[in-house]
Chain A
Amino acid sequence: MKLDQTDKCSSVSEALISDWRILTIECVDKLRPQNPYAATVTAEEIFELFRPILAKSATRRQEEEVKAKLLELCSEAVELRMIMRRSRDRYTCEIPGTLGWPLLASKCEELAETVAVEGGKPNQASDEIVYTVFGGLVKQAEDGDGKKIVLEKALVILKRK
């Protein structure tokens, strides 16, 4: 048996942090505005970024429709994130290229699934990931000894050979 030297300053446990987070969220929930701020801001940013490819003929009503859809999308994302944050289990959205998930498709098969090859056919695929279309959903159960379970794989695009 090996004893770890415990730093006296570092005495906050993960469980205590998640308790604090959950209870804090519970308390500030009463202050929550109707439209979550994070959703409004993100939807607005996304709309502005893609303005250059918005059809020149688009009417004001069509623009408002896009904005509404983006706000709906971002609000749902916030709702999901809050559920993830309120959980004692640790849910994360992960993409290849972050720590522990390398950018080679063959190195992160458990996290990522290839959906296309940019500039080529599926049989021209290299092993290198160009980008992630959508991240994966990963769970670390509170009592799972830190083991990561991939609930939903990330979708990735590979470079052409």
Chain B
Amino acid sequence: MEESRPFDQHSEHPQQALSMQIIDGLQQVKAHLGTLNDKLRTLPNDVASMLRNGDGDLERQVAVQDRNLAPLGERTESLEKHIFELETHKATLISENENCKTLVEAAHRENERVRSLIKQREDLLKQQDRQLAENEQTIRSLYEETDKLRHKESALRTIILDKAGTQKVSDQEIVAMFTNLRQRIQTIARLPVYRMDTASPSPRKMDEQQASFFDNKVWDRLTAEERTSRVRAKMFLMILHRILDFRLFGAEGVTVDAREGCGSEKYIAPALRRIEEALQNHKSKHPWSKTSES
């Protein structure tokens, strides 16, 4: 895979480049040696021609040639030594190159192995995905089934409750009763027997609730109309807390004998209210359940 590729490049290239350089060097040395050999071959001829040409200073010339030949021989020796060293180095490099090739092959094999492992994992993941999709399908169809059953249940409950005499009242009727209450409160608050034109009554004659409602800091700065409005609001709030927002059962005030062991509560409505509260608190959290009652 991707990770092993840099390894291939780094291992092969520098080694090969070096080998190439060495081989170039060797070839240059060989060429040089060739030239020298040629010179050596032609030397006797040169000497002979010199012998032929001259006599007096021939020996001197030979001596000069001999002196010249000595360093050439030394040079040849050192070059041969150098060639040997280079050959040795070349052999080392070739063997290193072989090692590298082996390593690269091993890396390739490892690569293949990892690739096949990845392929296996991918296949496994694909299989799991398919399984998940199937499971979701099953869940969806179960939900659909549940929904169908709930509709059936709802239909049956409607039948049962209709038999129990549930009242069917339209929104319009409820709205009419509701606005009628608003109207009634307004009429009562506007009764002339309620005096909205007098200042705040003396706190000494009032209980806590009255003192807070008729607080002179508020009451005395209001106009008669504003006072009427506040009285309406207070009447509404009392009705809201005690009736319209209260878990009424119609059995408020109904009592039973408080028997020993059954607690001292003789009214039945508070007990019913507590049952309804307990049911609300343990309401199911299914996706299809209705929103909670406050």
Contacts and interface: CB of A to CB of B under 8 A. Distances in A.
B219 to A, nearest CB: 9
Chain B: interface residue count, which band?
35 or more
Contacts of B139: 1, 3
Interface-centre pick from A1, A41, A46, A77 (highest chain B CB count, 10 A): A77
Given A1-B139, A22-B166, A133 B232 contact: yes
B194 interface: yes
A26 B193 contact: no
A159 interface: no
B250 A58 contact: no
Interface in B155-200: 157, 161, 164-167, 169, 171, 173-175, 177-182, 184-185, 187-188, 191-196, 198
B293 A90 contact: yes
Given A24-B249, A38-B252, A87-B169, A134 B284 contact: no
Contacts of B157: 15, 19
B213 interface: yes
Nearest to B256: A31
Interface of A: 1, 3-4, 6-7, 9-17, 19-26, 28-29, 31-33, 36-42, 45-46, 49-55, 58, 62-63, 65-66, 69-70, 72-74, 76-88, 90-93, 95, 98-99, 116, 118-119, 131-135, 137, 139-140, 142, 146, 151-152, 155, 157
Interface stretch (B54-62, B114-122, B123-131, B274-282): B274-282
A1 B139 CA distance: 9
Given A55-B194, A76-B181, A15 B154 contact: yes
A29 B233 CA distance: 31
Nearest to A26: B164
B220 to A, nearest CB: 12
B290 A90 contact: yes
Given A50-B231, A55-B195, A118-B222, A74 B243 contact: yes
A80 B174 contact: yes
A77 B243 contact: yes
B254 A28 contact: yes
Interface of B: 136, 139-140, 143, 154, 157, 161, 164-167, 169, 171, 173-175, 177-182, 184-185, 187-188, 191-196, 198, 201, 205-206, 209-210, 213-214, 221-222, 226, 229-240, 242-254, 268, 272, 275-276, 279-280, 282-287, 289-294
B205 A52 contact: yes
Given A66-B194, A85-B248, A140-B291, 16 more contacts: A1-B143, A6-B286, A12-B283, A14-B293, A19-B157, A42-B242, A45-B242, A53-B201, A62-B193, A69-B187, A83-B169, A85-B249, A118-B229, A132-B237, A134-B185, A146-B290
B166 A28 contact: no
Given A83-B169, A118-B222, A134 B182 contact: yes
A22 B164 contact: yes
Contact of B193 (A15, A22, A54, A91): A54
Given A22-B164, A133-B232, A134-B232, A93 B285 contact: no
B241 to A, nearest CB: 9
B188 A9 contact: no
A50 to B, nearest CB: 7
A146 B291 contact: yes
Which 6 interchain pairs have the tightest Cβ spacing?
A: A37-B253, A14-B290, A146-B291, A28-B251, A52-B201, A37-B252
A38 B242 contact: yes
A121 B245 CA distance: 33
Contacts of B294: 92, 98-99
A73 B237 CA distance: 13
24 contacts: A1-B139, A4-B285, A15-B157, A17-B293, A20-B279, A22-B164, A24-B272, A31-B268, A38-B252, A39-B243, A42-B242, A51-B210, A52-B206, A53-B196, A55-B193, A66-B191, A74-B239, A83-B177, A87-B169, A119-B226, A134-B181, A134-B232, A137-B175, A152-B178
A10 B236 CA distance: 35
Contacts of A157: 229, 233
A88 B210 contact: no
Given A49-B209, A85-B248, A137-B175, A11 B290 contact: no
